[in-house]
Amino acid sequence: MNASDPASSDSASTSAPGTSSSSASGSTASASAPSAPSPRLRAALETFPPYIPGKPPRQVEGLESFKLSSNENFLPPLPAVLETMVAHATNPALYPDDAALALRQGLADRLGVGLDRLVVTTGASELLVALTQITSDATTEAIYPWPSFEMYPQTTGLVGSTRHEVPLTAEGRHDLDAMAAAITEDTRLIILCSPNNPTGPVLRDDEVRAFLDKVPDHVLVALDEAYWEFATEPGRADGLGLVRDYPNLVLLRTFSKAHGLAGLRVGYAVAHPPVIEGLLKAVIPFGVTDLSQAAALESLNHWDEVLERAGEIAQTRDAFAAALREQGWEVPEAQANYVWLPLGEKSDAFEDACVEQAVAVRNLGAGVRISIGEDEALARVLEIAERFHIEHFED
């Protein structure tokens, strides 16, 4: 408990250590006991911040509130998926299928890969934790772009790995030349993110292949494609094609975004068998519930509908980004279900302006990320953004 906490202040003795004071009734109060020693935790925990999720919106009288801070799909799961969830809400006393065989078979058929090249986990976040556990420790180094997904420093820092955060280009893209130059004999893990979270641009297939050709075979490269279904840019990286050609590449995907199943926690990795075998030793047993597996499989069976809805969200994103640019904003090439405003020191003020209007956005210090949501939500953000740009950027 911090000394500034009210409970701490109320319970603290005003007497000096080792002395006592008498109450009005004449009883003797015990001297303040020395604070108990804290458990000795790993020093690596001091080197990175905890993951902080997107904030909920403030309730403002007379305004509908909108959460645009977590890149959640504002559309509900497909009706068939909801029906499947109801049908599989059965007996929670039983463990789920640890192998997630039906879901893995569905993925294998859909993606054209073998079962031995797939692992299903509790979201792609668990995959990041498992990847660092099977590759890294305090003697190794990890490389990733920055700013990018906030779990990269957390997962690599947790194992004590030395972290190289390679700055993005001015356009919010990976600087792959700088990332390649950062590789040393101690590098064991490299993370790429396409589309990059939070800035939005994708990696091109040719540039990823050129980069992978520079990476030593013993270094594992993770390609995080959590938002790949929303990407429309020609020439974007083909994760499945890449993972077939490079044994040291692992592809990370999720059912949280385009499928709209973030609350069910289902992710998967595609890699060559030795990497999958390593991941299976590090992931949590029975982590994905039967209900989650069934819902993900049903959503997978409606693949075309999922991609159609992702395409509609992408069209809304493009229109929203274009409207922001018309107001004078510099918006990186958005290829996911969000846009990025590189506000720098004005990020706090922009977030405050949104909060006052019952809209939650994600303030990441270097800028603000705005998830694509309902038309009403985006219209309100455009009004806020227009006023803000006039007040802060125009003479």
DSSP state of 230: G
∠ CA 175-180-184, rounded to 5°: 140
The Cα–Cα gap between 251 and 271 comes to 6
The Cα–Cα gap between 14 and 11 comes to 9
What pLDDT is attached to residue 31?
A: 53
- What 3-state DSSP class applies to 156? helix
Q: Tokens representing 325?
A: 């640019």
Question: Which segments of the chain are extended strands (E)?
Answer: 66-67, 118-121, 141-146, 162-167, 187-193, 220-224, 249-254, 267-270, 338-341, 359-360, 362-363, 368-371
DSSP labels, 55-71: PPPPP-TTS--EE-SS-
Candidates 154, 165, 156, 118; CA nearest to 134 is: 156
- Reading phi first (left if > 0) and then psi (alpha if -120 to 50, else beta), residue 328 is in left
Which ranges of 23-181 would DSSP assign to H, the alpha helix?
79-87, 101-111, 123-135, 151-158, 176-181
What pLDDT is attached to residue 52?
A: 86
What pLDDT is attached to residue 51?
A: 86
What pLDDT is attached to residue 62?
A: 93
pLDDT < 50 regions, the chain: 1-30
Task: Map tokens 């302006």 to a residue.
Answer: 353
Q: Tokens representing 1?
A: 């408990």
Domain 79-301 -> CATH class: alpha beta
The pLDDT tens digits for 156-174 are 999 999 999 999 999 999 9
- What 3-state DSSP class applies to 225? coil
Question: Residue 310 belongs to what H/E stretch?
Answer: helix 303-326
Is residue 279 a contact partner of residue 119, using CB atoms and an 8 Å limit?
yes
Hey, where are the domains in the chain?
54-71+304-393, 79-301
Residues 6+ apart with CB under 8 A from 393: 328
The pLDDT tens digits for 132-150 are 999 999 999 999 999 999 9
What pLDDT is attached to residue 263?
A: 96
Task: Map tokens 């227009």 to a residue.
Answer: 386
Residues 6+ apart with CB under 8 A from 321: 331, 334, 339
CATH topology of domain 54-71+304-393: Aspartate Aminotransferase, domain 1 (3.90.1150)
Cis? peptide before 147, omega within 30° of 0: yes
Q: What percent of the chain is helix, strand and coil (3-state, nearest 5)?
A: 40, 15, 45
- What 3-state DSSP class applies to 145? strand
- What 3-state DSSP class applies to 341? strand
What pLDDT is attached to residue 36?
A: 78
Is residue 127 a contact partner of residue 279, using CB atoms and an 8 Å limit?
yes
The Cα–Cα gap between 371 and 130 comes to 28
Task: Map tokens 């504002």 to a residue.
Answer: 74
Cis? peptide before 57, omega within 30° of 0: no
The Cα–Cα gap between 111 and 201 comes to 24
